[in-house]
């Protein structure tokens, strides 16, 4: 494996750099006395003006992506306990006093990804190759096309079959719901709640073993960790106070972390299967209808960061693509891959692409991020999307009556939309 890695790096040096730049990089790599901070300085492309090849004419980046997992495996199998700790994202100690051989491999990886900043880099440095490929795919269609999407809540996925029957296609993106997996479903809940939970059971297996080459996204209507009955993800059905989670001595903190640990075990199945997941926790937090938004979106943003740190840094779930879904209290670029908004309330078959919400969202968060229409009732109008350069990379219609009836979208509108070349779908 070491020979293969050396070959990759040699190809990189020979094809991507001018002679003077090559000397600087080789000197930086060969100098055993350099600390991690010194390496980062050497690999600052602004300081050294490194020559990036035109990506359309260079195959290197794809070669690198295809081989990155080999590099990671080599590093992880190194007989160096400190290195293994650092691979769990203890970045403050990263690469200090390391054997130069392992440092070289890791630093080349950093260098390559910094140079190719036209490619979409994940917020998680250790995101899997599958995540990186999917994000780069999103980047390649950004403002050029839109991915069709549909939420489902049952094993039959009647929404997908409905769309196929009407249009001749399946949606490319499919949404699944995590609510049935909660540890905190009160058995004394009302019939409507328990029926929805029952309908959702088993759908994670469908998501895990999906064979349609779909993109998978998870919505999590998280039952309140304490005090709830019925659909206790709604604030009106629980007295749970999100603010108390941030006191680590509180029972609210313990209950929340217990639920998070439980969900990490569910998500690990997808990590083990190398399946990338669009993960959208604490959605619509700028509203007050869910317990995580009841006291303001700022608390949900803090909870999102806590969740990210636990699932990524503690549990090593590097297959997640992190989606923030509120207009306010942006958690920051280090925790978000895609920013998104949910839009409801348009008239049936409305000629809208939700540009008002798009414009509001991008003024509140980072302009470096991809933008998605994470939920909607009325599908965006194709001509409006085309006229506005496809502001969203994907949309997802909600399930049940939002799809299975013509209350929001007529069959003619659905068929016409799916017939467009710029709408990505599955035959």
Last residue of a domain, one of 117, 142, 168: 117
The pLDDT, as a whole number, for residue 129 is 81
pLDDT in tens, 334-348: 899 999 999 999 999
Same domain, 37 and 70: yes
CA–CA dist 229, 238 (Å, integer): 7
Same domain, 145 and 191: yes
The pLDDT, as a whole number, for residue 23 is 55
Same domain, 8 and 150: no
Do β-strands 423-426 and 146-147 pair in parallel, antiparallel, or remain unpaired?
parallel
Closest CA to 203 of 149, 166, 155, 251: 155
- Residues (pLDDT < 70) of the chain are 1-119
Same domain, 141 and 193: yes
Specify the number of domains making up the chain.
2
The pLDDT, as a whole number, for residue 89 is 34
Last residue of a domain, one of 61, 86, 117: 117
Do β-strands 423-426 and 170-171 pair in parallel, antiparallel, or remain unpaired?
antiparallel
Same domain, 112 and 206: no
CA–CA dist 272, 319 (Å, integer): 9
Cα torsion 136, 142, 144, 145 to 10°: value is: 80
The pLDDT, as a whole number, for residue 9 is 58
Last residue of a domain, one of 117, 146, 168: 117
Q: What are phi and psi of 417, to 5 degrees?
A: -60, -50
pTM (2 d.p.)? 0.78
Q: Which domain holds residue 308?
A: 131-426
Residue with tokens 């740190």: 309
Same domain, 258 and 303: yes
Same domain, 157 and 286: yes
Contact assessment for residue 213 and residue 173, using Cβ atoms and an 8 Å cutoff: no
The pLDDT, as a whole number, for residue 230 is 95
pLDDT in tens, 319-333: 999 999 999 899 999
Same domain, 88 and 142: no
The pLDDT, as a whole number, for residue 421 is 96
Q: Is residue 126 part of a domain?
A: no
Q: Is residue 313 part of a domain?
A: yes
pLDDT in tens, 181-210: 999 999 999 999 999 999 999 999 999 998
The pLDDT, as a whole number, for residue 133 is 85
Same domain, 61 and 100: yes
The pLDDT, as a whole number, for residue 319 is 95
The pLDDT, as a whole number, for residue 404 is 96
Same domain, 226 and 282: yes
The pLDDT, as a whole number, for residue 155 is 95
């Amino acid at each position: 494996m070491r020979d293969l890695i050396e070959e990759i790096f040699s190809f990189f040096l020979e094809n991507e750099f001018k002679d003077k730049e090559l000397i600087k990089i080789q000197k930086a790599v060969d100098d055993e006395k350099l600390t991690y901070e010194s390496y980062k300085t050497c690999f600052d492309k602004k300081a050294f003006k490194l020559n990036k090849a035109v990506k359309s004419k260079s195959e290197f980046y794809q070669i690198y992506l295809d081989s990155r997992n080999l590099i990671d495996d080599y590093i992880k199998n190194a007989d160096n306990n400190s290195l293994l700790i650092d691979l769990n994202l203890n970045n403050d100690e990263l690469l200090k006093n390391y054997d130069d051989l392992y440092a070289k491999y890791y630093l080349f990886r950093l260098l390559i990804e910094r140079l190719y900043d036209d490619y979409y880099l994940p917020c998680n440095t250790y995101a899997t190759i599958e995540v990186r490929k999917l994000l780069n795919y999103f980047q390649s269609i950004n403002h050029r096309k839109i991915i069709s999407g549909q939420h489902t809540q049952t094993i039959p996925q009647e929404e997908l079959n409905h769309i196929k029957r009407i249009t001749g296609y399946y949606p490319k993106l499919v949404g699944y719901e995590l609510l049935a997996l909660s540890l905190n479903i009160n058995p004394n809940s009302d019939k409507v709640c328990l029926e929805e939970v029952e309908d959702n059971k088993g759908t994670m297996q469908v998501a895990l073993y999906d064979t349609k080459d779909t993109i998978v996204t998870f919505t999590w209507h998280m039952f309140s960790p304490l005090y709830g009955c019925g659909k206790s993800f709604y604030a009106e059905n629980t007295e749970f106070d999100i603010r108390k989670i941030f006191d680590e001595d509180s029972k609210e903190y313990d209950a929340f972390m217990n639920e998070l640990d439980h969900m990490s075990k569910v998500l690990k199945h997808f990590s083990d299967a190398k399946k990338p997941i669009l993960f959208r926790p604490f959605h619509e937090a700028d509203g007050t209808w869910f317990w995580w938004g009841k006291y303001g979106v700022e608390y949900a943003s803090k909870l999102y960061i806590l969740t990210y740190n636990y699932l990524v840094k503690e549990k090593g779930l590097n297959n997640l693509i992190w989606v923030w879904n509120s207009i306010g209290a942006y958690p920051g670029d280090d925790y978000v891959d895609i920013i998104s908004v949910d839009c409801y309330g348009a008239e049936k078959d409305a000629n809208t692409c939700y540009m008002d919400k798009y414009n509001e969202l991008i003024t509140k968060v980072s302009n470096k991020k991809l933008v998605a229409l994470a939920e909607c009732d009325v599908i965006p109008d194709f001509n409006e999307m085309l006229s506005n350069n496809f502001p969203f990379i994907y949309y997802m219609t909600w399930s049940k009556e939002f799809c299975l009836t013509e209350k929001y979208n007529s069959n003619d509108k659905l068929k016409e939309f799916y017939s467009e070349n710029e709408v990505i779908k599955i035959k």
